[in-house]
Chain A
């Protein structure tokens, strides 16, 4: 047993931190959030050249051929820097293709996702935070050797940046009669819309499909039997989002700990007072514990598939509690300074709100843990 990262993984962490510190400091994040795309195409290209967009894509399809433990190292760093870009979306689209697509489909789409020439995302939900098979309603009608898709996907991450969508749709009335299909950007009848978000560093919105046709060759696996693959995608999504949350929460906690050391009131650094130091200790306890759960979930994704559902739910649940607390208390412990637009605490706070419901909040996952026990 070994609960540490390898030298290569530590090297990746160091490289990612350096690149993001240089190319994407918070000033740049703030500038990019005002742009329509919301991220820097130049930096995206650079990540592609470094192999980070296809980190878990097999080498034969143009990726780096690494695993989830490597991926979460990178995502922890992009979370820490509040990197604005469709990295999680793109990675999840690629991960779904790796998991559920056949060789031709992989060869067709994975190289583009890995080198940055295309951007992928996943479109699963029809309604708010309903991670049940019957809540996926986007209709698929049989049409010769393909399907005609009609409906609206909501809460899609990076809908206007992406040009490749992995879409969950319904093939019949039975609860789990579902399929996953790839819809190409620009397909007739497809439109995407981003809405203004609380956390302006991220893009979120709708994907509307009006009679969009996809061929059978674009359906991943057997049409009507996709629910297990969708569940695996949800677990991957929860783990990936939790990894970015860990980095962002740690940055917010570090910022606040440093402030507690520097800020003097009543003749003393405020970090000396138990009203300040105890909440910081509690946040550290929660975050370190969520960190342990996340690392295990990533290991399970690589090595122990049967453990993944429980491990992913536990990780996302506790990470969500930790980041929600840290996002809020980072502001409270700073005082009014943190209320200002200029100070970075608000950026972490907003991020904590945006990521909480993504792939399920704490209560969803606590409930799911009981369902996984058959209760």
Chain B
């Protein structure tokens, strides 16, 4: 066991530090043009898609280097590593793993260059946690699939250029074997989008939609993987979605801010930081955030040694969910009645960031599989308990 970095890794770490010192202004000094410039610069460093193979245009970095990079970026409160979050986090990896050479050449460069915006077509009105029961139908006619059906809770569909769409291609097969994955341009005739507004009432993260498919014709060459391979692709993509050091450091910076809020707050007429229950909760947050970091490092070691359990990411997803809910909840509790103010007025503490957090956690907690789904996965695949 060794938590030190090798000399090469130390060199890379210093390179990232130097870059951040030179190129990343503090959050309050970032102007309107900053994001576009930032993405151009990190793209030039080949840090977007850093661990993707060089032959598809990725950076060819090691998993360890990617870990170091993401670790430092989030600690420095840098923006995301690219504009197409969905493309970078699970659609891109799925195309690299399952795609044809033509598909890789067509989609990967635009994901890396921030030219794409992907959305994900999983859930349907009658299909949520039991995702493998999805019904959106694709019928093969010659070189074309004709898609009919409906998706729901589709984040970003209202401005996405493409959808990573799961369809039932073979109703005669078992529910897991009859699913295929199609990469569908959103401007294909027959696709209709309706917004679904979330409880943030038009505020942060208002991204949900329903998407209707009426005789949508999709060329068969846009199928990802084999016909019937959809479930395998989903499982792989969901694990990509559930893992990562990024969330850990986001929590770590949130905790610093939360401690700052506690230091300015009172409870029962005394400084909140003298309150035993506040202290216990803050200490527990710190402990679980560090546990997530170390769980991630253990998973990385297992990955490097070639024996990563595919469900290991579910462990950190559960911590991630608990921390999002509990930390935003404590933040509002510390504010007392001021927590009820929402919006852009001066009376709103910390510019409303904690209210936003309290109204946006479902996107992460429920998206990508609810905590109860994660518990099923852990119990069945890691503990070997019988399936439901």
Contact = CB atoms under 8 A, between A and B. Distances in A.
A363 B283 CA distance: 8
B56 interface: no
Main secondary structure of the interface of B (DSSP, over half): helix
A189 to B, nearest CB: 39
Contacts of A362: 280, 284
Contacts of A277: 375-376, 379-380, 383, 385
B297 A3 contact: yes
Interface in B331-372: 372
Given A1-B2, A271-B379, A367-B279, A314 B287 contact: yes
Nearest to A293: B291
B343 to A, nearest CB: 31
A297 to B, nearest CB: 10
B379 A292 contact: no
A370 B282 contact: yes
Interface string B242-284: 0000000000000000010001000000000100100111111
Nearest to B278: A370
B295 A271 contact: no
Contacts of B290: 293, 310, 314
Contacts, number: 155
Contacts of B382: 281, 284
Interface in B300-327: 300-302, 305, 315, 318-319
Contacts of A271: 379, 385-386
B283 A292 contact: no
Contacts of A272: 385-388
A366 B380 contact: no
A296 interface: yes
B1 A299 contact: yes
A369 interface: yes
A280 B385 contact: yes
Interface in A269-322: 269, 271-272, 274, 276-278, 280-282, 284-285, 288-290, 292-293, 295-296, 298-299, 303-304, 310, 313-314, 317-318
A261 B384 contact: yes
Nearest to B318: A285
B283 A274 contact: no
Contacts of A106: none
Contacts of A290: 291
A3 B279 contact: no
B383 A366 contact: no
B360 to A, nearest CB: 23
Contact of A365 (B263, B283, B315): B283
A6 B305 CA distance: 13
Given A281-B379, A369-B286, A3 B1 contact: yes
Contacts of A268: 386
Contact of B294 (A257, A260, A281, A293): A293
Which of A296, A367, A368 counts the most chain B CB atoms within 10 A? A296
Given A284-B378, A292-B298, A2 B315 contact: no
Contact of A280 (B64, B283, B284, B379): B379
Given A365-B283, A370-B283, A303 B294 contact: no
Contacts of A128: none
Given A1-B9, A367-B276, 20 more contacts: A3-B3, A4-B302, A269-B385, A271-B386, A276-B385, A280-B383, A285-B315, A285-B319, A285-B378, A289-B319, A290-B291, A293-B294, A296-B3, A298-B1, A314-B290, A318-B287, A365-B283, A367-B279, A369-B286, A373-B259
**Interface pairs A-B: 3 shortest CB-CB:** A366-B283, A292-B294, A289-B291
22 contacts: A1-B3, A261-B385, A261-B386, A269-B385, A269-B386, A271-B385, A274-B372, A281-B379, A289-B315, A293-B287, A293-B290, A295-B1, A296-B294, A299-B2, A314-B291, A362-B280, A366-B279, A366-B283, A367-B276, A367-B279, A369-B282, A369-B286
